C-alpha cells in the first residue's frame, strides 16, 4: 500500500473534460498503474444531476440556462442537482478504498469516506474563522447557526464508488456567485440557503499555508487556489497520506498526456 496521494490542480476545466480525466484516473487506479489521486479544480458554470436526481429541482428553463451559458450533465454520483462555477473549489478524490482502513482495522466504507471528507472541509473552514458542522440526514458541510439564522450549506458532497474506487467528490463554495444557485433547489433542499467561505470568514483570522509537505506557513489570501492548498494538506492529514503535487497529469502517467 502506497502512502502517497498525488495532487493535480489543472485550473479551470470544462466539465466533460474533467469527467474524462476522472474516468481515466479511475481505470488507472483500478489496475494499480497509479496510486490515490486528488484532483482540485474549478468549472465554468454547469449543473450536474446525480443518477437519481429529481429534474424538478432545476427551476430555470432550458432557454434561461442557455442564455446564461450554463451547461447541464447527468452523472453517476449520488445526490441531487448541484451547481458548479467560478469561485468554487471542486475536488475529485480517486481513492482505492480497499487500501484505506479505520482506527479499528476495518476497511473504510463509502459512508466512512464521506464523513472524512466532511471532516476535511469542516477543519479547513475553521482555519478561516468559519464554524462549520454536519447536519444529521443531510450530507455536506454546513455553517453553525447563530440566533435566528439557520445553518447554511457551505459544501456539497456526492460520491460514486465502483469496485472499490471512488470518483466525483465535493464542491466547496469559496467566492462563488451565489445568485447562480437560484437556478436550482441545491441538492433538493428547499428550506435552507447556500453560502460562501468568503461571506462567512472573519478576515482577521484567515488560515495559513504555503507548503503541502513542509508545513511552512504565512498569511494566505482567501482564493480558490489558496483554499485548495489548505484542503490538500488537511486531506493528507485526515486520510493519512503524504501529498505530492504534480504540475500536469502526464507526470503521473503517460496515457494522461492528451486527457
C-alpha closest to that of 84 among 32, 58, 46, 111: 46
DSSP code of 96?
Answer: B
Rounded CA-CA distance 213/202 in Å is 26
Active-site residue 187, yes or no?
yes
Residues 6+ apart with CB under 8 A from 127: 206, 207, 208, 230
Q: In what order do the strands lie in the sheet with 46-49?
A: 71-74, 46-49, 81-84
Rounded CA-CA distance 105/5 in Å is 20
Report yes or no: 152 and 164 within 8 Å, Cβ to Cβ. no
Rounded CA-CA distance 231/241 in Å is 13
C-alpha closest to that of 49 among 176, 155, 162, 184: 184
Contacts of 230-234 with CB under 8 Å at 24 or more apart are 230/124, 230/127, 231/40, 231/89, 231/91, 231/120, 231/121, 231/124, 231/172, 232/7, 232/38, 232/40, 233/209, 234/120, 234/123, 234/124
Active-site option among 187, 201, 220, 243: 187
Rounded CA-CA distance 91/233 in Å is 13
Cite the active site residues.
Answer: 187
Amino acid at each position: 500500500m502506497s502512502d502517497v496521494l498525488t495532487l493535480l490542480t489543472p485550473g479551470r476545466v470544462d466539465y466533460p473534460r474533467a469527467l474524462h480525466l476522472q474516468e481515466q484516473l479511475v481505470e488507472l487506479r483500478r489496475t494499480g498503474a497509479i496510486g490515490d489521486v486528488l484532483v482540485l479544480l474549478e468549472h465554468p458554470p454547469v449543473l450536474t444531476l446525480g443518477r437519481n436526481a429529481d429534474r424538478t429541482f432545476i427551476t430555470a428553463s432550458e432557454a434561461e440556462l442557455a442564455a446564461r451559458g450554463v451547461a447541464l450533465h447527468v452523472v453517476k454520483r449520488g445526490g441531487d442537482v448541484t451547481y458548479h462555477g467560478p469561485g468554487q473549489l471542486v475536488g475529485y478524490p480517486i481513492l482505492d478504498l480497499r487500501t484505506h482502513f479505520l482506527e479499528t482495522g476495518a476497511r473504510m466504507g463509502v459512508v466512512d469516506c464521506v464523513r472524512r471528507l466532511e471532516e476535511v472541509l469542516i477543519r479547513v473552514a475553521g482555519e478561516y474563522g468559519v464554524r462549520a458542522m454536519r447536519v444529521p440526514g443531510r450530507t455536506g458541510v454546513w455553517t453553525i447557526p447563530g440566533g435566528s439564522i439557520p445553518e447554511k450549506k457551505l459544501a456539497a458532497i456526492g460520491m460514486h464508488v465502483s469496485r472499490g474506487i471512488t470518483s466525483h467528490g465535493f464542491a466547496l463554495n469559496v467566492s462563488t456567485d451565489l445568485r447562480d444557485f437560484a437556478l436550482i433547489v441545491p441538492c433538493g433542499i428547499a428550506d435552507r440557503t447556500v453560502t460562501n467561505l468568503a461571506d462567512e470568514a472573519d478576515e482577521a483570522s484567515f488560515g495559513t499555508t504555503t507548503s503541502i509537505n513542509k508545513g511552512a506557513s504565512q498569511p494566505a489570501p482567501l482564493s480558490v487556489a489558496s483554499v485548495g492548498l489548505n484542503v490538500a494538506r488537511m486531506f493528507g492529514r485526515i486520510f493519512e497520506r503524504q501529498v505530492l503535487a504534480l504540475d500536469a497529469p502526464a507526470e503521473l502517467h503517460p496515457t494522461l498526456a492528451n486527457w
